[in-house]
Structure 1
Amino acid sequence: MDAFSEELMGFVQKDNQVEASKDPVPEIHLPWLSQHIQSTGSHGQKGTNFAQTTSICLNFIQEALLKHQWQRASEFLQCYLQTLEDINSQKRQMAPEIIWKLGSTILYNHPKSNVETFSAFADRMKNIGVQNYLKISLQHALYLLHNGMVEDAYRNLNQAESWRYGEMSASQEKLIKLIQAYRGLLDYYTWSKKRTEVSSFDMDGFATNAATQDMHSYFRQASVNLHEIIKIPGVWDTFVKSYVEMLEFYGDQDGARQVLTDYAYDNNFPSNPNAHIYLYKFLKKEKAPEDKLISVLKILHQIVPSHKIMLEFHMLLKKSNKEEHHKLGLEVLLAILDFSGCTENITAWSYLAKYLKQIIKGKHREWVQEGWSSRKDWWPTFHFSYYLAKKNWKENRILALKKAFTSGILLGKGCKYFMYVSKQGHKIREKSIKTMKKFVMKHNILDSEEH
């Protein structure tokens, strides 16, 4: 280990020794870039030692970050600034981005950090490694927004949008569009505030007209940038919702519907359940035909079969005149209950118990057998164990009764869950137990057997 590495290790040992005597929240000490430590060498063995030193230092920073030792991490970062003069050109080019990520993380979390310190660090880093200027500007703006400084964030985005350095690369063009999109989002925010003001306060005709014109100018600014970003494949939920809200406000229902339709069905976009949820809620509000609602929710069912809207989907399918929809209605309920987060969803179990009775009376027992065939090996343990019977009966008797009915239909009256709930229900003279047992005896899918 070279002299600098030994000195660094010595500093760490000293830092650990005095940790207990330090003020619980020490003063922040993030280095300014003009004061960074000079390289220990630039050729041969010195260059190798330099690389080893910075690597060790980076490991110490990462360890400190994982342990939330923000002050310690900031002190090591001072040493790590040497990488700005690394003899390896690739590492030297990567250094500004790494330093920014480390420094911004420290400043975001350090108990004695503040907006001024973060902003000063961001402004310095923007001018070191110009390829990071746009990315840092955007992250800086988001930090300002997090701290409620909307006007400062907007000004920051404006400056970044007008920034140019040499020939614009494809990645920089995407960042510019993203910056414009966030500026559009802030224009939407201002538009929304203006809309509230116009509708909430009594103003004379002239004042109302002026406020309305002002509001509309923000709409135009926001719509241009939001419209551009949502044409690029990606997940743009917040941008889409904001844009659609404005279009709806101005009565452009066709435009809003088209935006949501494109967002949901464009194959160039990543699979996104929210896109289908937004479209479904919009169409539902428009009182669209049920077949159209069903077609949207079919896709959502494939992506997220456990989503709470699937209960609405089941009801839509149940009301349909098509037999294929009735069969799908059973699969939708079974799929919801395949997921651990839905095991005690009393609405889903109530729907399933009622629907099983309806299906069996309607002489479609084969639908139940088909849905059960892929679940018979694991649902008994997952849903219908003796332990769960005792637990459900103690915590929610209605849930236990619905599950007992379902278990009796699927597994027969010998199912442990069914037997336990039937016995407890008989003790307290639960009226529905007798009816449940009678139906199960007549209509269970399997022969009676112990499970």
Structure 2
Amino acid sequence: MDAFSEELMRSVEEDDQEKASVGCGPEIHLPWLSQHIQNTVSHGHKGINFAQTTSICLNFIQEALLKHQWQQASEFLQCYFQALEDFNSQKRQVALQNIWKLGSAILYHHPKSSVETFSAFADRMKNIGVQNYLKISLQHALYLLHKGMVEEAYRNLNQAESWRYGEMSASQEKLIKLIQAYRGLLDYYTWSKKRTELSKFDMDGFATSAATQDMHSYFRQASVNLHEIIKIPGVWDPFVKSYVEMLEFYGDQDGARQVLTDYAYDNNFPSNPNAHVYLYKFLKKEKAPEDKLISVLKILHQIVPSHKIMLEFHMLLRKSKKEEHHKLGLEVLFAVLDFSGCIENITAWRYFAKYLKQIMMEKHLDWVQEGWSSRKDWWPTFHFSYYLAKKNWKENKILALEKAFTSGILLGKGCKYFMYVSKQGHKVQEKSIKTMKKFVMKHNILDSKEL
């Protein structure tokens, strides 16, 4: 084992002894070699080599993690440290990454772990192989944030940002930018808190120019780092939202709109539904023309046709004066109801039933047939089975009526769903059932056999 790992082991043991001497209670026990591995190696594996031993150990750790056996996993991890003795530098690097990933997972879940234990492990791992310093620093900061320790996380990011070792590689430069971005996010967090405090002072007439300037200084710090990270192709949702919120607060609507537009439409960035949602909500708040809102949601419809905003998109299309938008409005509803998550969405079915009725009255039967042709083989079982008719009628009669109406239009009066619901007698729904039956008898796109 090399000097780094020996020092790590020695410092862990010293910490355990020190805490025990001051009565800190039981700590995580990490014996040097698990009896389990000794048995595995000694019985029937006399010819086992170094690589096989570490591989067996790694398998034991992974199995223990899957079973949530945190103490056992921590014992096996100590055995896995021997992987640092490998002569192959690439394998040593892989071992270091494994030790950090597995060790941090164990310490995150171990019932006797603490923030101090995790931080001590992270600080030591940062110095075992300089290639890991920045990654571990960032993950350490995120762990501290998860524990609500914002100031400690900020200090950790500051230290990582100022860290230098030899010539900076391209991958390290990217990590530095990411670390700066997270620091910017924490500056935004402080700015947001100060803004809330100032708004309360303003109500009481106690706000001072010094407090306002202090808040603005956090905006400047945050905006520099957030602006830099969102220029790099990637998915930066929390960074973009924070930056846009600050720009809006200071009245830079053009700047905020440009950030969101670039984030949504830059072809160098990966496809991201949220980018289009953010832009749509911003434009809607600005009361942008409906055509502009429709153009944004068209792209979202292509990426995530089942998105909850699609029902809003449908209403926008219905209000449009363009016939192509009216046709798209039907396609949007068909696409929404293709997904199991919307199978009992009463709003979607209400919109669908109402729009089908309108389209049939306007003699656009071809629109319905076009949407139905690719669904007629699976929608009857997916939406309109006899079982679902009974279930829907029992649980939500309004939903059952809307679905029965659409099933009658799409499948004809012989559809079992339609037949079951139309035969039910109920004081509140009686008039609705009669109206539904009358319309379906007059309008349907096909006369089906019973399904």
> Is the TM-score greater than 0.5?
yes
Q: Distance in 1 between matches of 2:206 and 2:217?
A: 17
1:174-323 map, 5 Å: 174-201=174-201, 208-323=208-323
- Paired AA for residue 94 in structure 2: M
2:198–2:207 CA contact under 8 A, matched in 1: no
**Residue of structure 2 equivalent to 1:8:** none
Aligned-pair distance for 1:54?
Answer: 1.3
Structure 2: how far apart are the matches of 1:425 and 1:388? 18
CA contact (8 A) 1:47 1:87 kept: no
Q: Cα gap change, 1:170/1:47 in structure 2, threshold over 3 Å: closer, same or farther? A: farther
Q: Distance in 1 between matches of 2:142 and 2:124?
A: 17
> Given the two structures, how large is their TM-score scaled by the length of structure 2?
0.89
Residues 319-334 of structure 1 correspond to what in structure 2 (within 5 A)? Answer: 319-334=319-334
Aligned partner of 1:68 in structure 2 is 68
Matches within 5 A, 1:65-104: 65-104=65-104
The answer to whether the 8 Å contact 2:233/2:270 transfers is: yes
1:204 shift after superposition: 9.0
| C-alpha distance in 1 between matches for 2:111 and 2:283 | 47
Trace 1:325-344 onto structure 2 (pairs within 5 A): 325-344=325-344
Which residue of the partner structure matches residue 372 of structure 1?
Answer: 372
Shift of 1:69: 0.7
Report if aligned partners of 1:426, 1:433 keep a CA contact under 8 Å in 2: no
Report the residue type matching 1:75 in the other structure: E
Deviations 1:179-210 (A, max 9, x none): 00000000000000010111112599895101
Contact 2:64/2:72 (8 A) holds in 1: yes
Shift of 1:49: 2.0
Gaps of 5+ in 1: 1-24, 33-45
Name the aligned partner's letter for residue 340 of structure 1. Answer: S
Contact in 2 for aligned 1:84/1:92 (Cα 8 Å): yes
Shift of 1:426: 7.0
Deviation (angstroms), 1:93 = 2.5
| Corresponding residue of 2:398 | 398
AA aligned to 1:399 is L
Residues 90-114 of structure 1: CA deviation (Å, up to 9, x unaligned): 2122222111111111101101100
CA–CA separation in structure 1 for the residues paired with 2:92 and 2:69: 26
Post-superposition Cα deviations, 1:336-389, rounded to whole Å, max 9, x if no partner, equal 000011011100111011101101111111100111101101101110011100
Matches within 5 A, 1:348-427: 348-425=348-425
CA deviation after TM superposition for structure 1 residue 30, in Å: 4.7
Change in Cα spacing, 1:396 to 1:298, as seen in structure 2 (3 Å) is: same
Q: More displaced, 62-71 or 198-207?
A: 198-207
Moved more, 299-308 or 197-206: 197-206
CA contact (8 A) 2:144 2:153 kept: yes
Q: Measured at CA, do residues 181 and 47 of structure 1 come closer, stay the same or move farther in structure 2, by a change above 3 Å?
A: farther
| Partner Cα separation in structure 2 for residue 433 and residue 400 of structure 1 | 11
Q: Which residue of 2 aligns with 1:168?
A: 168
Q: In the aligned structure 2, how far is the partner of 1:47 from the partner of 1:124? A: 34
Structure 1 runs, 4 residues or longer, greater than 6 Å off: 203-206, 426-429
- Partner SS state of residue 201, structure 1: helix
Structure 1 vs Structure 2 CA RMSD: 2.0
Q: Which residue in 2 is equivalent to 1:49?
A: 49
**d(CA) in 2 for partners of 1:215, 1:124:** 36
Q: Which amino acid aligns with 1:73?
A: A
3-state SS of paired residue (1:233)? coil
The amino acid across from 2:281 in the alignment is K
Cα distance in structure 1, aligned partners of 2:144 and 2:420? 59
Deviates more, 1:404-413 or 1:424-433: 424-433
| Shift of residue 434, structure 1, vs aligned partner | 1.4
**CA positional deviation for 1:284:** 0.3
Q: Among the aligned pairs, what percent are the same residue?
A: 91
State the distance in 1 between where 2:290 and 2:429 align.
43
* Structure 1 Cα separation of the partners of residues 31 and 130 of structure 2: 20
Q: Is the 8 A contact 1:26 1:71 kept in 2?
A: no
Q: In the aligned structure 2, how far is the partner of 1:294 from the partner of 1:403?
A: 27
Change (3 A) 1:377 1:65: same
